[in-house]
């Protein structure tokens, strides 16, 4: 029986809108693509998620490798508070799930400073959250099974009583291997419908 719902954040509860932000900052299409590849689409971004190196050092290395857009990288990072926006339905969605008796958890790959900023400026759904594990806080990232096991251990969760929503199939596959029910999110609205169907079945069988 499902008792716990575990959410990824990016592209599940919030829009990770880095290209839109670059355009809002006045960058042309070529520069937008260059900044996207240098920053969020760069493997070094995974090091930010892991939290194993100082953020300043990582950004400096990215700038050294992309000197032609060094200024734009600084502008992007200076405006990082606006790189995500909560989806309009997220706060209501989590609130309704809480009202139905489910416990809500977050399991996210997220750079430490960005997470702190966005908790204050963008995440309007935190009031419904019972607990969370953030990659940069624990030096582990999805799809590593250990981060799922850490969440289970920290909050005394039973995998078979959980459903996990994430936009990356590697992450949902890792969770499924541990016995967790999963939904791979390609469209947040469709995911909400799919979760409701699963929970309705779950409640009927209870």
Per-residue pLDDT of the chain (206 residues), as tens digits, is 999 999 999 999 999 999 999 999 999 999 999 999 999 999 999 999 999 999 999 999 999 999 999 999 999 999 999 999 999 999 999 999 999 999 999 999 999 999 999 999 999 999 999 999 999 999 999 999 999 999 999 999 999 999 999 999 999 999 999 999 999 999 999 999 999 999 998 888 76
User: What is the predicted pLDDT for the residue at 159?
Assistant: 98
Taking Cα atoms as reference points, which of 117, 120, 112, 177 lies closest to residue 143? Answer: 177
User: What is the predicted pLDDT for the residue at 205?
Assistant: 76
Is the separation of the CB atoms in 107 and 148 below 8 Å? yes
Is-above-0.85 flag for pTM?
Answer: yes
d(CA 111, CA 128): 22
d(CA 33, CA 65): 15
How is domain 4-15+86-205 classified at the CATH fold level?
Rossmann fold (3.40.50)
Q: Delimit the domains of the chain by residue range.
A: 4-15+86-205, 18-82
């Amino acid at each position: 029986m499902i008792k716990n719902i575990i959410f990824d954040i990016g592209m599940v509860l919030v829009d990770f809108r880095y290209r839109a932000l670059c355009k809002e900052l006045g960058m042309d299409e070529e520069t937008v693509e260059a900044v996207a590849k240098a920053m969020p689409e760069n493997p070094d971004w995974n090091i930010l998620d892991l939290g194993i190196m100082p953020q300043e050092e990582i950004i400096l290395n990215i700038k050294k490798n992309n000197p032609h857009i060094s200024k734009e990288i600084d502008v992007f990072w200076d405006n990082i508070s606006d790189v995500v926006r909560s989806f309009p339905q997220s706060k209501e969605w989590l609130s309704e799930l809480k009202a139905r008796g489910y416990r809500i958890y977050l399991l996210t790959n997220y750079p430490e400073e960005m997470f702190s900023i966005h908790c204050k400026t963008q995440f309007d759904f935190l009031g419904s959250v019972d607990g969370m594990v953030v990659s940069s806080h624990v030096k582990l990232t999805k799809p590593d099974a250990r981060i799922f096991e850490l969440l289970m251990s920290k909050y005394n969760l039973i995998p078979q009583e959980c459903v996990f929503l994430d936009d990356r199939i590697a992450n949902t596959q890792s969770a499924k291997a541990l016995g967790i029910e999963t939904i791979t999110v390609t469209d947040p609205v469709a995911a909400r419908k799919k979760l409701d169907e699963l929970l309705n079945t779950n409640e009927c069988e209870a």
